[in-house]
Structure 1
Amino acid sequence: MSDEAARRQDPHPLRAGVQVGDRLLASWRRSTEYGVLTEAVEPVFSGTWEQESLFFECGREVLTDLHRTLVDEPVSLMLTDAEGLVLNRLSGDTSLLRSLDAVHLAPGFAFSEREAGTSGLGLALADRLPSVVRADEHYSTSLAGYTCAAVPVLDPISGRLEGSVNITTWAEQPGKLLLALAQSAAGATSALMLARARGRSPRPAPRGEVFHVQRGTLEPGSGTVRGLSAPWREALQRSEDAVRDGRVVLAVGERGAGRSTLLAQAVRRARPRDRILSASPPAPQDLDAWLALWSPELAKADTAVVVCEVDTLPARAAAELASLVVVARGARPGLPVVLTAEDLAEVPGPLAALVDTVVPVPPLRERPADVLPLAQHVVRQTRGRDLDITPAAARALETCPWPGNVDQLHRVLRRAALQADTIDLRHLPSEVFSGSGHRLSRIESVERDEIVRVLTTPGTSVKQAAVELGMSRATIYRKVAQYDLRIPR
Structure 2
Amino acid sequence: MDASTAASDFALRAAHERFTTSPGMPSGVRDLVAESWRRSARCGVPADGSVLPSLTTPARDLRAYRHAHPLAVALPMLREVLGAGATDDGHVFAVGDADGTLLWVEGDTAAIARAERMHFAEGAGWSERQAGTNAPGTALALGRAVQIVTGEHYSAAVHGWSCAAAPVRDPRTGRVLGVVDLSGGPTIATPPALAAVRAAALAAQAEIARAPASQAGDAVRLRALGRDSVLLECDGRTHRLSPRHSEIVLALALAGHGVTGDRLAVDLSEREVPASTLRAELTRLRALLGPRLLGSRPYALLRPVRTDYDEVTDLLAEGRVGEALARYAGPMLPRSDAPVVVEHRRCLEQQVRGAVLGSGDHRLLRRWVDADWAADDAQAWATLADTLPGGSPQRAAAAARARALRLPTTVVPQAGRHAAGLQRCRS
Q: TM-score, length-normalised on structure 2?
A: 0.51
Partner residue, 1:72:
88
Letter in 2 for 1:44: S
Q: How many Å separate the matches in 2 of 1:256 and 1:150? A: 38
Partner of 2:415: none
DSSP-derived class of the 1:377 partner: coil
Tell me which of 138, 154, 162 is aligned to 2:177. Answer: 162
Contact 1:59 1:79 in 2 (8 A): no
Following TM superposition, by how much is the alpha carbon of 1:134 offset from its aligned partner in structure 2, in angstroms?
0.6
Q: Which residue of 2 aligns with 1:42?
A: 52
CA distance in 1 between partners of 2:90 and 2:22 (Å): 28
CA drift at 1:150: 0.6
Q: Where does residue 32 of structure 1 map in the other structure?
A: 41
The question of 1:13 aligning with 2:20 is answered yes
For 2:103 and 2:135, the matched residues in 1 are separated by 16
Cα distance change, pair 379–476 in 1 and its aligned pair in 2 (3 A): farther
1:184–1:483 distance in 2 versus 1, CA, 3 Å: farther
Q: Deviations over 1:126-157 (max 9, x none)?
A: 11111111111100011111111110011111
Determine helix, strand or coil for the equivalent of 2:89.
Answer: coil
| C-alpha RMSD over aligned residues | 4.2
Shift in Å, 1:446: 4.9
Distance 1:379 1:85, change over 3 A: closer
Q: Distance in 2 between matches of 1:114 and 1:28?
A: 10
Q: Which residue is 2:399 aligned to?
A: none
Q: CA deviation at 1:159?
A: 1.8
Aligned residues: 257
Q: Deviations over 1:397-449 (max 9, x none)?
A: xxxxxxxxxx9xxxxxxxxxx9xxxxxxxxxx99xxxxxxxxxxxx9775435
Which of residues 447, 460, 474 is equivalent to 2:366?
A: 474
* Distance in structure 2 (CA, Å) of the matches to 1:467 and 1:454: 20
Higher helix share: 2
Q: Tell me, yes or no, if the aligned pair for 1:144 and 1:171 is still in contact at 8 Å.
A: no
* In structure 2, distance between residues paired with 1:55 and 1:460: 41
1:183 maps to which residue? 198
SS in 2 for 1:89: strand
CA drift at 1:456: 3.0
Deviations 1:354-389 (A, max 9, x none): xxxxxxxxxxxxxxxxxx9x943237979xxxxxxx
**Counterpart Cα distance in 2 of 1:47 and 1:456:** 41
SS at match of 2:133: coil
Partner residue, 1:55: 70
How much does 1:75 deviate?
Answer: 1.6
Once the two structures are superposed, what CA deviation does each residue of 1:30-83 show, in whole Å capped at 9, x if it has no partner?
111111011114231122422313523223112221223443112211100011
Cα deviation, 1:295-321, whole Å, max 9, x if unaligned, reads xxxxxxxxxxxxxxxxxxxxxxxxxxx
Shift in Å, 1:21: 2.6
Which runs of no fewer than 5 residues in structure 2 stay unpaired?
1-14, 218-241, 245-265, 277-283, 285-297, 299-308, 311-324, 335-341, 378-417
Identity %: 23
Uncovered stretches (5+) of structure 1, i.e. residues with no partner: 1-8, 203-254, 258-371, 383-406, 408-417, 419-428, 431-442
The match for 2:270 among 362, 368, 376 is 376
SS at match of 1:456: helix
Q: In the alignment, is the contact (CA less than 8 A) between 2:86 and 2:182 conserved in 1?
A: no
SS in 2 for 1:57: helix
1:448 aligns with 2:323: no
Which residue does the alignment assign to 1:115? 130
Query: Does the residue aligned with 1:153 lie in a helix, a strand or coil?
Result: strand
Alignment of 1:271-286 (within 5 A): none
SS, match of residue 174 in structure 2: coil
Secondary structure of the corresponding residue to residue 448 of structure 1: coil
User: Is residue 2:102 matched to residue 1:95?
Assistant: no
CA distance in 1, matches of 2:375, 2:100: 43
- SS of aligned partner of 1:378: coil
Counterparts of 2:69 and 2:354, CA distance in 1? 51
2:204 aligned counterpart, secondary structure:
helix
Is 1:85–2:94 an aligned residue pair? no
What pairs with 1:117-266 in structure 2 (closer than 5 Å)?
A: 117-171=132-186, 173-199=188-214
Give, as a single letter, the amino acid of the residue that structure 2 aligns with 1:64: R
**Higher radius of gyration, 1 or 2:** 2
Contact 1:82 / 1:164 at 8 angstroms: preserved in 2? yes
- Cα deviation for residue 169 of structure 1 reads 1.1
Q: Which amino acid aligns with 1:12?
A: F
Describe the SS at the equivalent of 1:38: coil
| Residue pair 2:101, 2:127 contacting (<8 A) in 1 also | yes
CA 1:476–1:379: 2 relative to 1, 3 Å: farther
2:261 aligned partner? none
TM-score (norm 1): 0.45
| Whole-Å separation in 1 of the counterparts to 2:19 and 2:359 | 61
Q: Name the aligned partner's letter for residue 474 of structure 1.
A: R
What's the secondary structure of 2:58's corresponding residue?
coil
Distance in structure 2 (CA, Å) of the matches to 1:379 and 1:189: 36
Residue 257 of structure 2 aligns with which residue? none
In 2: Cα distance, 1:376 partner to 1:454 partner: 16
Amino acid at match of 1:378: E
Contact 2:182 / 2:188 at 8 angstroms: preserved in 1?
Answer: no
Give, as a single letter, the amino acid of the residue that structure 2 aligns with 1:154.
R
Shift of residue 460, structure 1, vs aligned partner: 6.3
Counterpart residue identity of residue 130, structure 1: A
Q: What code does the residue aligned with 2:42 have?
A: E
The residue matched to 2:203 in structure 1 has which SS?
helix
Q: Is the alpha carbon distance of 1:133 and 1:454 closer, same or farther for their aligned partners in structure 2, counting shifts above 3 Å? A: closer
Match of 1:346 in 2: none
Secondary structure, counterpart of 2:136 in structure 1: helix
